[in-house]
Amino acid sequence: MTTLRPASRHRALFAAALLTGTSALTLALATPTQAASLCFNGPTRITVTADGEINGTAENDDIRCLRLADRSTINGLGGDDTVRVLGTTADVTVNGDDGNDTIFIRSLGGTKRINGGDGEDDITVTGGLSGTYDNRSAVSGGNGNDTLTVDTVGLQSEVHGDAGYDTLNISTVGPGGRVEGNDGNDRLQIGSNDTIVMAGDGDDIIEGPGGTRMHLDRSSYADGGNGTDTCRVNQPGTSNGNIGGCENTP
């Protein structure tokens, strides 16, 4: 049997590509394909559908994903579910669906769309939210009294409490980010704001972490909306932020 030397092997691959019209050379140089999703419900590995969906059951699920392919969708379905994504750069959608769900996402980049659905949900996102003009990141509590915790709401990203008496804990709202309480008596606790915070309908509270004063940066805006609202904010001067719709400003 003849053994090809490296130079001869490369020439042979190139010749094969020319002769077949396909890409023996391309195959030899191709980069690896993206890794498939790896998720478990309890001790059982979840079978990913052809559409990239990772589905729970109608019962109380414990879904944890160690790896996600791009454009994956996780559906908790019924029951009081726990969903944990332990670090991903992929574009991901997570739907808690019905039930009192707990969702934890460690974001390393990519667009994230998270909806708690009906029920009293607890959603936490670390690593920050960011998106693009045509593919925004968003966290929505859905119907129910929800708790949403996000460290940074960045460019082209938003957080919505939706209907219910919601608590939104946000460390920083950066340029291009948006936070809305929506319907219900909401409490928005925000470390610093460089864009828009809107409490929406209801008797709401806008303040800093732990009931301190929220800092309004230049050209930022905090609006209590309809209802009897309380805004605890630092507003050093007329050029440093604006507030509106706040009946109480202690």
Residues whose CB is less than 8 angstroms from the CB of residue 24 and which lie 6 or more positions away in sequence, other chains included: 13, 16, 17
* pLDDT at 126 (0 to 100): 96
Yes or no: say if 166 and 185 are a contact pair by the CB < 8 Å rule. Answer: no
Domain ranges of the chain: 53-244
> On the CB side of 12, how many CA atoms lie within 13 Å of its CA?
8
Residue 115 belongs to what H/E stretch? strand 112-115
Convert the pLDDT of each residue in 159-182 to its tens digit.
999 999 999 999 999 888 899 999
* pLDDT at 134 (0 to 100): 85
Cα separation, 248 vs 250, in Å, equals 6
Going by C-alpha positions, the residue among 168, 46, 65, 191 that lies closest to residue 116 is 168
Q: Enumerate residue ranges in the chain where pLDDT < 70.
A: 1-34, 218, 235-241
Q: How far apart are the first and last CA of the chain?
A: 89
Q: Which residues of 4-32 are buried (b: 16+ CB within 10 A; e: fewer)?
A: eeeeeeeeebeeebeeeeeebeeeeeeee
Cα separation, 76 vs 119, in Å, equals 12
Task: Provide φ and ψ at 11, rounded to 5°.
Answer: -65, -35
Cα separation, 36 vs 34, in Å, equals 6
Residues whose CB is less than 8 angstroms from the CB of residue 41 and which lie 6 or more positions away in sequence, other chains included: 56, 57, 61, 62, 63
Cα separation, 215 vs 229, in Å, equals 17
Indicate the pTM of the whole model: 0.83
* pLDDT at 133 (0 to 100): 83
Residues whose CB is less than 8 angstroms from the CB of residue 238 and which lie 6 or more positions away in sequence, other chains included: none
